[in-house]
Structure 1
Amino acid sequence: MRAITYSRYGGADVLELTEQPTPKVGPDSVLVRVRAASVNPVDWKVRAGYLDAVMDVTFPVVPGWDVAGVVERVGLDTPELQVGDEVYGYVRRDWVQGGTFAELVAAPVRTLARKPASLSFEEAAAVPLAGLTAYQTILRAGVRDGQTVLVHAAAGGVGAFAVQIARSLGARVIGTASTRNHEYLRGLGAEPVEYGDGLVDRVRAIAPGGVDVILDYGGDDLVATSRALLADGGTVASIVDAAARDELGGHYVWVRPDTADLDALTALLDAGTVKVDVAEVFELADAAAAHEASQTGHVRGKVVVRVA
């Protein structure tokens, strides 16, 4: 099978299109014919070696954790799925090696769910990691109807999902973003504010009583901002700063594969409550360019790689 691989840490130039053996399928896994995958910041951070201290890496690595495709073969005990099922998922294991930037991937059934019928494979591939991250931080923080929620980096891949999910629960959402993304956030249902110096005053101007929940997907000065803006009994959840847990008594979240959570996202997507923003689609052979586009940090929406 064709796959993108790298055999050492480095820049996007270490990515190569190679021929690899078909993955073996374990008892609780299925073989997925990949139609599309997507790039997340963690992909190029692993490739660059930034996570070497916390994740086991076995070279050569096939990068990618997001997938959308069709079940081609089932394991010995996978009653959840059948050959021909269209699926999507966050195929993360406890080590890094056999990823989704390939024509075939062996995926544990716990990492997959049936693909939203309303989405193309490219759109579906843009959902799992970012959508699950948003959904799981919202669950952990206990967002509910009537609350005011501040979302840091609200125009990013995770933030955009969080805005929409929180709004679907009946929360008022304030989102930090650069001015160029304010109209985009309004379209998602958020009240935008400029990040940077003066953020606390700008949020207080529209929410004098403070906010009930802060969801941090990339904000600055999390501790100081949270202490200035959280209402009594409020909480914070972050995916980038352990101080949310260690200093603020909130939550530090590392997203997990979860079929039930994917099914919940599917319901929101098929109902039209949550929309997917695909920034650009690259072919498999152009995976290095896809990584570079994501790594600029200026992409609004997800970078997708079409495989089949």
Structure 2
Amino acid sequence: MRRCRVRAAVADDYGAPDVLEVREVDDPKVGPDYALVRVHAASINPVDYKIVEGGLDAAFPVIWPLITGWDVAGEVVGVGPAVRHVEPGQAVFGYARKDFVGAGTWAEQVAVPARGIAPAPRQLDAVAASCLPLAGMTAWQALVEDLEVGRGDTVLIHAATGGVGHLATQIALARGARVVGTCREANHDVLRELGGEPVTYGEGLADRVREVAPDGVDAVADFSPQGSLAASDPVLRSPGRVVSVRDPQAAYERGGTYVFVRPDVDHLRSLAELADAGRLAPRVQSVHELADVRAAVAEASEGTVRGKVVLRVE
């Protein structure tokens, strides 16, 4: 039987953004515990362009042609018989990570495992909602599960205006913590608008942190691409309350944890609740049409993004 065709951004080999092209592919197959989603928007994360470059080749099996993308917001088209918490016609958002790469969200339709999808926040449009799953759950799992950040804590967040960091800042504040965040000086006002207290990266960081937090900090969350735990050692007053998304060994040496975000329906629901309460708002730097995927990926990989770059699909 001939299958339907959908448009997707695909690559036939690893490489720079110019290996991507938009063309028709077979529509996704939907397993018993999957939901088929009509994609309205898909945000771009660093892992996405690393997949295109071949950076996860040793970690995941790959299906060719390669369709990347793990974040999605859209509408449920259909569900497998084991899916009970979302239904056709419902607005959803999700983290569509599978046990392989190659059937991702940069397409008109995507099959999403039930463990990674939930009803979308009512107060966010699809573009904004697509920014939450991967980055928001990374922040949630780091701050809430691992660091147990709460009222009375002072937490140092590295890369506090980045894709994960700007959400982590808001989550920590919503839980009653005080946030001191590292970022470029050009982003200091951005962090102040979020409610954090900015300090600049680089030599002398510990002294600058002490200027705003003389007694040091209770916890450190490192979302910096370069890894910044060593610079935090002099100001951390609670040994072991450290987490990194960049450097597992550095985190383990300090008695902390490493986060590679996992799909979790309850965590998605928690993010949606914060968004609907006005406590969590993704920053969108730019929106590109699917046909402009090369430019979108090039922009997202520049390393100076404030918030998220998003592909609008439908």
TM-score scaled by length of structure 2:
0.95
2: CA distance, partners of 1:65 / 1:219: 19
* Cα 1:165–1:74 shift into 2, 3 Å: same
- Whether contact under 8 Å (1:74, 1:82) holds in the other structure is yes
1: CA distance, partners of 2:7 / 2:283: 27
- Whether contact under 8 Å (2:219, 2:238) holds in the other structure is no
1: CA distance, partners of 2:304 / 2:198: 18
Stretches of structure 1 that go unaligned for 5 or more consecutive residues are none
Instruction: Write out per-residue CA displacement over residues 186-245 of structure 1, whole angstroms, 9 at most, x where no aligned residue.
Output: 111100001111101101122122111000001756343232111044510000011343
SS in 2 for 1:45: helix
SS in 2 for 1:304: strand
- Whether contact under 8 Å (2:39, 2:72) holds in the other structure is yes
- Whether contact under 8 Å (1:236, 1:244) holds in the other structure is no
Q: Which has the higher strand share?
A: 1
User: Which deviates further from its counterpart, 153-162 or 214-223?
Assistant: 214-223
Q: Structure 2: which amino acid aligns with 1:171?
A: A
Stretches of structure 2 that go unaligned for 5 or more consecutive residues are 1-5
* Cα 1:243–1:70 shift into 2, 3 Å: same
Pick from 33, 39, 60: which aligns with 1:34? 39
Matched residue, 2:156: 150
Matched residue, 1:64: 69
Instruction: Write out per-residue CA displacement over residues 245-304 of structure 1, whole angstroms, 9 at most, x where no aligned residue.
Output: 321010111001111000000000001011111110000111111100101111111101
2: CA distance, partners of 1:85 / 1:205: 49
1: CA distance, partners of 2:249 / 2:55: 20
TM superposition outliers: structure 1 runs of 4+ over 3 Å: 219-223
1: CA distance, partners of 2:86 / 2:134: 21
2: CA distance, partners of 1:257 / 1:60: 24
Pick from 231, 239, 243: which aligns with 1:225? 231
* Root mean square deviation of aligned Cα: 1.2
Alignment of 1:112 onto 2:114: no
Matching of residues 258-273 of structure 1 within 5 Å: 258-273=264-279
Post-superposition offset of 1:181: 0.5
Matched residue, 2:3: none
- Whether contact under 8 Å (1:154, 1:175) holds in the other structure is yes
- Whether contact under 8 Å (1:101, 1:284) holds in the other structure is yes
- Whether contact under 8 Å (2:239, 2:255) holds in the other structure is no
1: CA distance, partners of 2:280 / 2:189: 17
Pick from 138, 148, 161: which aligns with 2:167? 161
Give the share of equivalent positions with the same residue, in percent.
50
TM-score scaled by length of structure 1:
0.97
SS in 2 for 1:27: coil
Matching of residues 82-101 of structure 1 within 5 Å: 82-101=87-106
- Whether contact under 8 Å (1:281, 1:303) holds in the other structure is yes
Alignment of 1:211 onto 2:221: no
Alignment of 1:193 onto 2:210: no
1: CA distance, partners of 2:96 / 2:40: 14
